[in-house]
Amino acid sequence: MGEQVGIGTTNAPDGRGVGIGIVGLGVISRQYLDTLAGHPGVRVAAVTDLDRTRAEIVAAGLPGARVAPDLEALVADDEVSVVLDLTTPGVHAHVAKACAAAGVDRYGEKPLAVDLAASREVMAAAAAAGTRVGCAPDTVLGTGVQTARAAVAQGRIGMPTAAVATWVSPGHEAWHPQPDFYYAPGGGPLLDMGPYYLTSLVQILGPVAWVQGAASRSRDERTIASGPRAGERVPVQVATHVTGVLGHASGALSTVTVSFDAVGSHSRPIEVHGTAGSLVVPDPNRFDGDVELRALGGGEWEVLPPSAGFEGAGRGIGLLEMVGAAGLSEAPSTPRAGGDVGLHVMEIMTGLLDSADDGGRVAMTTAPAVPPLVPLTAARTWHGGGRAVAG
């Protein structure tokens, strides 16, 4: 599950905040702990990982946290109210179902599960148990995507007509020491990076009614370039270049390209076009960045000041929002980074791949309500006086 993580922040004092249990302590856990450790609204009560030593190191940096021997013990812990699932995609459904069975909420990394059928099972299990499901990416709750969304809602580009989203890379094996899961079912550029772009498009333009896609795979093996396994080859079981068109229920059309088969691109991450202007949305894998607007009439590109979203946010803000610890005035009934949107995004991705196989248009069966816009929320408000927010 990646390299070992050390913790340089402190946990909230015992007895304070919503108790979190973390399963999976690989590379991404460091970013979550930067947000959650020290926040007065939550505390890490327990952690577990396949690598017991790694779990012990993390727990040692979080006063009051203990090491659970396994997932079953973690979800059964009386002090754990919500589980943060940072495992690899193939394990997400198993963790989510264990949470539902234990009656605890679950917030996890994207995608919701390895495929559409498993994602539906996750949501059904939570509904039957009366528990909540949160799902990354929560980057869409930052000032970048939320400011762009506000501009569109305010009519700054007129009637939205189209969007273009592009992400390309030569592949994660160039930098990740354990890239196997990126090329296994549940991985690939679409299920790995697609959720950032597709969730952003759903936030800005609303749910998708149909998709049509094409896909390819350039080679059957990839060579790891770094770490102790450098030179080792891993099999490629998924499409490594996917492109397609999304027909939003609003009538807007989005064109999406994600690839592990390209060296680079000058394309902007997301552009949204309308009858009265065009908008550049910053990298949806980040929480901030400049939103640029060019209005009809030949004017220059204008950088819009942040007008919505969590300022200075990091991974974990979606979990804080879900448990009511993000400094917003209203208590959330459905998480803004919720499983309903995660399920819709999974159906979009599955539809693109199914369409690539048979060449037809695929209709969507899910149509989640778009979460409420995040009001502009200063870091000192959402972080509530915990760990200082850098930058």
Q: Domains, the chain, ranges and CATH?
A: 18-137+376-382 (3.40.50.720), 139-308+335-363 (3.30.360.10)
CB 167 within 8 A of CB 269: yes
Identify residue 377 by its one-letter amino acid code: T
- Cα 134 to Cα 46, 198, 244, 264, 278: the distances in Å are 19, 16, 27, 32, 31
pLDDT value, residue 145: 98
For strands 362-363 and 302-304, give the pairing: unpaired
3, pLDDT greater than 80: no
Higher pLDDT: 384 or 341? It is: 341
Task: Identify whether 177 is preceded by a cis peptide bond (ω within 30 of 0).
Answer: no
- Cα separation, 312 vs 381, whole angstroms: 11
Angle, helices 89-102/116-129, rounded to nearest 10 degrees = 10
Q: Is the dihedral of CA 103, 47, 389, 140 positive or negative?
A: negative
Which pTM value belongs to this model?
0.93
Q: What mean pLDDT comes out for the span 56-61?
A: 96
Q: What strands lie across the sheet with 18-23, from one edge to the other?
A: 66-67, 42-48, 18-23, 82-85, 105-108, 133-135
Provide the β-strand partners of residue 371: none
Q: What is the DSSP string of 81-101?
A: SEEEE-S-HHHHHHHHHHHHH
H or E segment and range at residue 200: helix 188-205
Q: What mean pLDDT comes out for the span 309-330?
A: 95
Backbone angles phi, psi at 202, to 5 degrees: -65, -40
Looking up tokens 């940096």 gives 61
- Which of 39, 122, 33 is CA-nearest to residue 86? 33
- Cα separation, 192 vs 385, whole angstroms: 33
For 21, half-sphere exposure in the C-beta direction (CA atoms, 13 angstrom radius) is: 30
Q: What is the DSSP string of 245-271?
A: EEEETTS-EEEEEEESS-S---S-SEE
H or E segment and range at residue 272: strand 270-274
218, pLDDT greater than 80: yes
Q: What mean pLDDT comes out for the span 127-140?
A: 98
- Cα separation, 158 vs 143, whole angstroms: 21
Residue spans of beta strands (DSSP E) within 202-343: 208-216, 221-223, 233-235, 241-248, 253-259, 270-274, 277-281, 291-295, 302-304
pLDDT value, residue 6: 37
pLDDT level of residue 11 (50, 70, 90 thresholds): low
- Cα 221 to Cα 171, 180, 218, 225, 261: the distances in Å are 11, 10, 9, 13, 12
Higher pLDDT: 271 or 329? It is: 271
Q: What mean pLDDT comes out for the span 321-336?
A: 89
Identify residue 213 by its one-letter amino acid code: G
386, pLDDT greater than 60: no
Instruction: Return mean pLDDT, the chain.
Output: 93
- Cα separation, 70 vs 12, whole angstroms: 23
pLDDT value, residue 4: 35
CB 287 within 8 A of CB 314: yes
Provide the β-strand partners of residue 87: none
| Joined tokens for residue 122 | 């996750």
- Which of 366, 336, 351 is CA-nearest to residue 133? 336
CB 269 within 8 A of CB 197: yes
Number of H helices, E strands in the chain: 10, 17
